[in-house]
Chain A
Amino acid sequence: MNIRNIIKYWRVTLTVAEMTVRHQLNDSFIVFAVLIQPMLIAILALFMLKEKGTDYAMFVVVGSGLTGLWSSLLFVSGNSINVERWSGTLETLVGVPTPFEVIVFGKNLASVAQSLLSMVVSYALAALFFGYSLHVDQPLMFIASVLLTVFAFVSFGLIIAPIFVMYRGVQQWQNALEFPVYILAGFLFPIALLPFWTVPISYVLPPYWAAIALHGTTTGAAPLEETFFAWGLMLVFSIVDLFIASRLFKFMLYKVRVDATLDTE
Chain B
Amino acid sequence: MNAIEVNHLKRVYRAAIGVFKRSIKEVVAVDDISFSVEKGELFGLLGPNGAGKTTTVKMLATLLIPTAGNISIMGFDVVKQANEVRKRIGFIFGGERGLYWRLSAEDNLRYFASLYGADPEVSKKRIPYLLEMVGLKGRGNERVEGYSRGMKQRLHVARTLLHDPEVLFLDEPTIGLDPVGAREFRQVILDLQTEKKTILLTTHYMFEADALCDRIAVIDKGCTVALDTPGGLKKHVSDLSIVEMETFGAPEEVLNGIRALPFVDAVSVEDQDQRQLLKVQTERGAEAVPDLMAALDGQRVGRVIVREPTLEDAYVRLVGGKV
Contact = CB atoms under 8 A, between A and B. Distances in A.
A93 interface: yes
A16 B112 CA distance: 9
Given A91-B93, A254-B65, A8 B117 contact: yes
Contacts of B112: 92, 96
B63 A91 contact: yes
Interface string A80-103: 000000011101111111100001
B87 A15 contact: no
A263 B58 CA distance: 11
A97 B114 contact: no
Nearest to A24: B102
**Residue of A91, A97, A262 ringed by the most chain B CB atoms within 10 A:** A97
A19 B107 contact: yes
Interface in A9-25: 11-12, 15-16, 19, 22-23
Contact residues of A: prevailing secondary structure: helix
Given A16-B111, A19-B107, A89 B99 contact: yes
A8 B116 CA distance: 11
Pick from B63, B64, B107, B159 the residue with the most CB of A within 10 Å.
B63
B83 A97 contact: yes
A260 B126 CA distance: 33
A26 interface: yes
Nearest to A26: B102
Contacts of A91: 58, 63, 93, 98
B17 interface: no
Given A12-B115, A260-B13, A95 B63 contact: yes
B65 A96 contact: no
A257 interface: yes
A153 to B, nearest CB: 23
Contacts of A98: 114-117
Contacts of A254: 65
A6 interface: no
A89 B95 CA distance: 12
Given A15-B114, A19-B107, A97-B117, A89 B100 contact: yes
Interface in B157-171: 159
A15 B111 contact: yes
Nearest to B113: A15
Contacts of A87: 97, 100
A160 to B, nearest CB: 22
A85 to B, nearest CB: 10
Interface of A: 8, 11-12, 15-16, 19, 22-23, 26, 87-89, 91-98, 103, 254, 257-260, 262-263, 265
24 contacts: A12-B115, A12-B117, A19-B100, A26-B102, A89-B99, A91-B93, A92-B112, A92-B159, A93-B115, A95-B63, A95-B86, A96-B112, A97-B83, A97-B86, A98-B116, A98-B117, A103-B115, A257-B63, A257-B64, A260-B13, A260-B58, A260-B64, A262-B63, A265-B97
